[in-house]
Structure 1
Amino acid sequence: MKSIQYNLYKTFMNKRARAILLCLVSMFSLSAQTPRKDSGADGSNPGQPVMLGFRVPEEFWSHKFMIFENGKYIKQTLEKYRGKPLVLDFWATWCPSCIAKFPKVDQFKKIYGDHINFILVNSFDIDTKKIARVLTGEGTGRQPTETASIVNDVYLKQLFPHQSVPIYIWLDEYGRLQASSTANFLNDDQVRGMVERMKGGKQ
């Protein structure tokens, strides 16, 4: 009798264990397929670093930045850059190699027109007059850059953390982070590749 009771108990426990295991597996599968609200997979986690292959948060496009463009400072969002590849060029006034790359960025803008966007980003300097002098080439004999620059940035440096400059952030037309690179990566092959990979972007 004890043996029968033991076997029934053992069978019951095995079924129960299988049921519990099945529930756990189902829950894990659902969790693995459904991004958590705070995972950033849907771009909804503002201020958190963007991982390679993930989209920038929606706030990236609606956040108001101070931008130096056409010789003056304006408050503006990045909404007009949406839907096309975008390269963020992080720089600082104390970085000669950053400033030396401005003409190259201007050249890419002329070559590829509105097939790809570029914007400079200064997250290090707070002296807006000094920044304006650098961007306009005032007193240096350099041509002013034709590329707009975000200044006094805090937000973008949170999304794309870095300690040194220049750093280039490559976003595709969907706002997904494709690469974070140094200046060596900023060449015609890479820029053309971004343009040609864009939906309907072949010239």
Structure 2
Amino acid sequence: MKITIYNLYKALKSKRALVILAGLFHMFSLSAQTPRKDSGANGSNPAQPVMLGFRVPEEFWSREFNVFENGKYIKQTLKKYRGKPLILDFWATWCSSCITKFPKVDQFRQIYGDRMNFILVNSFDTDTEKIATILTDEGAGGQPTKTASIVNDEYLKQLFPHQSVPIYIWLDEYGRLQASSTANFLNDYQIHAMVERSKGGKQ
């Protein structure tokens, strides 16, 4: 009788232990699947800044951006800019010195054609009507700029952090960050040098 009671006690104790273990396992499973507010698992984790000499992430080319081009807004990726040097021109509607540089960028686009890519990037403004007005009327000394502009950007500013504009981001044909410069660095000599390097550059 004593042996039976003891065996029953052991069995109950064992079942209780299993229930506790099962409960703990379930609790940790839920904990592992529920993201913390700071974990970034909800997709809001900021992009890591690109270091000098390193390539942009693959998402840079595949991510869809809101782009103003040829007088209208469209959704598009940067895939068509891949494989050639690219300059990102960060600007804002309140930055008059940014806007007065648009004709310079348009001129370089005309000179270098498909050997060099340029795109404007606005990471500061949310008023798409105001942006469109500047790009079509006020920009380029009263002439619409011919250079496309990414608008409502957050991602690119995370990749290339900056507080003031204009800022120019120079990427080589492999998407490696070569420089982050002010407007003074944006000249024919520097662009020509980058285009020439890309002809015989090694991956």
Same fold (TM over 0.5): yes
Q: Secondary structure at the match of 1:146?
A: coil
Cα drift, residue 173 of structure 1: 0.0
| Structure 1: gaps (5+ residues) | 1-44
| Structure 2: gaps (5+ residues) | 1-44
For 1:140 and 1:190, locate their aligned partners in 2 and report how far apart those are by CA, in whole Å: 22
Provide, for residues 34-79 of structure 1, a one-character-per-residue CA deviation record: whole Å limited to 9, x for no partner: xxxxxxxxxxx98100000000000000000000000000000000
Identity within the alignment, %: 83
Map of 1:1-203 to 2, 5 A cutoff?
Answer: 47-137=47-137, 142-199=142-199
For 2:153 and 2:194, locate their aligned partners in 1 and report how far apart those are by CA, in whole Å: 25
4+ residue runs over 3 A deviation:
138-141
TM-aligned CA distance change 1:139 to 1:157, over 3 Å: closer
Equivalent pair of 1:46/1:58 in contact (CA under 8 Å) = no
With normalisation by structure 1, the TM-score equals: 0.74
Equivalent pair of 1:46/1:59 in contact (CA under 8 Å) = no
Equivalent pair of 2:102/2:140 in contact (CA under 8 Å) = no
With normalisation by structure 2, the TM-score equals: 0.74
Cα drift, residue 199 of structure 1: 2.7
TM-aligned CA distance change 1:192 to 1:130, over 3 Å: same
Q: Secondary structure at the match of 2:196?
A: helix
For 1:148 and 1:60, locate their aligned partners in 2 and report how far apart those are by CA, in whole Å: 17
Provide, for residues 165-189 of structure 1, a one-character-per-residue CA deviation record: whole Å limited to 9, x for no partner: 0000000000000000000000000
Aligned length: 157
For 1:65 and 1:58, locate their aligned partners in 2 and report how far apart those are by CA, in whole Å: 14
Q: Secondary structure at the match of 1:121?
A: strand
TM-aligned CA distance change 1:76 to 1:193, over 3 Å: same
TM-aligned CA distance change 1:199 to 1:124, over 3 Å: same
How much is the aligned-residue C-alpha RMSD, in angstroms? Answer: 1.8
Structure of larger gyration radius: 2
Provide, for residues 98-132 of structure 1, a one-character-per-residue CA deviation record: whole Å limited to 9, x for no partner: 00000000000000000000000000000000000
Q: Secondary structure at the match of 2:89?
A: strand
TM-aligned CA distance change 1:140 to 1:120, over 3 Å: closer
